[in-house]
Amino acid sequence: MSGSSTSSLRAALLLILAALALLLALPAAAPARIGDWDHAWEVVQLVRLTPPRGTPIFYLGDSTARESTVRDALWTLQLRRRAAAAGRTTATVVFTLASHNQTLGMDGQLIAAMPPREPHTPRGIAVIGVGLSRFIGPPIQRQRAAVTGAAPVLHLWNQHRYVYRVPLSLRRKHELVPRWMRRRWPGFQRNLRQNLRAVSRLITLCRGKGLRPVLLNLPLDLRVVGHGLDRPRIAYSAGCRRLARRYHVPYLSLAGPAPIPTSSFWDLMHLLPPGSQVWQSRLSGRLAKLLPTKQPLL
């Protein structure tokens, strides 16, 4: 090879190396994240195209539910460990279907769009989050998200929005209790009955899809709230207990003897990461006991 050819080759290699070094030095573009309502409909599309063979668990609720768990992949692994320890099936997967201002009517939209469980497969579980925020407005529906593409894909989504905000001060949290009664109590009273009817319809709808409904009280900072919100809490929980008895469904509360510390809440209802870890762990323990004991044939 001539000297000029060698020089040309060396120069070309240097240019390639310089280009690679430049590319490696550039910050990687962050993958696009989708919204919480869009994510819920992506899960529905996934379930429609590739129905889970084991026991799927769907966690329905608003932003209070959305913020209460760490991440579905980690939650699934945790639940499988708890299930194995309890002698239950480990063939389970968890999906959080919870979005900002999601109503009980929107829960119904998601469940209605799912296919019924296939014959000879175990029932799934639908965890229906209930709490003060879910009974404020009417159970309206919302336009379904446009999910594109035929392949079942779950994109990264914005699950935790309060982790980047400075938590409210203790004084401000205490101020929110009487403020809730002034501003939210009237709407709560107007919409309580129709929201309880929406819960009833949702229970029936879940059963028609081969899902076992489970009612769950969503997080609330009881240390701060005290007895300040007793009237709305007693009203909705009494209605949910009646529905639980009528339909023979579990009605769970994760409050326990040791309430989650106030420092783990952003406000009165939205959990920060330390609180989400505790809540998810408690919920995994309760759900593990509801899983079937028989492993499905995969």
Share of the chain above pLDDT 90, in %: 78
**pLDDT digits 0-9 by tens, 224-233:** 999 999 999 9
Contacts of 244 (CB under 8 A, 6+ apart): 215, 250, 251
CATH says 30-143+157-288 is which class? alpha beta
- The residue that leads in pLDDT, 26 or 241, is 241
Cα 232 to Cα 175, 208, 225, 235, 254, distances in angstroms: 17, 30, 12, 5, 18
What's this model's pTM, rounded to 2 decimal places? 0.87
**pLDDT digits 0-9 by tens, 277-289:** 999 999 999 999 9
pLDDT at residue 33 greater than cutoff 50: yes
Tell the residue number behind the tokens 């489970």, with chain if given. 214
Please, which pLDDT band fits residue 295 given cuts at 50, 70 and 90? Answer: low
Please, which pLDDT band fits residue 271 given cuts at 50, 70 and 90? Answer: very high
Pair 137, 106: CB distance under 8 Å: no
**pLDDT digits 0-9 by tens, 35-92:** 999 999 999 999 999 998 899 999 999 999 999 999 999 999 999 999 999 999 999 9
Query: Where along the chain do its domains lie?
Result: 30-143+157-288
Position 157 scores a pLDDT of 93
Please give the Cα distance from 151 to 154 (Å, whole number).
10
Cα 79 to Cα 36, 90, 92, 287, distances in angstroms: 22, 8, 8, 8
Please, which pLDDT band fits residue 7 given cuts at 50, 70 and 90? Answer: very low
**pLDDT digits 0-9 by tens, 80-90:** 999 999 999 99
**pLDDT digits 0-9 by tens, 120-166:** 889 999 999 999 999 999 999 999 887 766 667 888 998 999 998 99
DSSP one-letter code for 2: -
Pair 271, 260: CB distance under 8 Å: yes
- The residue that leads in pLDDT, 5 or 139, is 139
**pLDDT digits 0-9 by tens, 176-209:** 999 999 999 999 999 999 999 999 999 999 999 9
Please give the Cα distance from 87 to 80 (Å, whole number).
10
Please, which pLDDT band fits residue 112 given cuts at 50, 70 and 90? Answer: very high
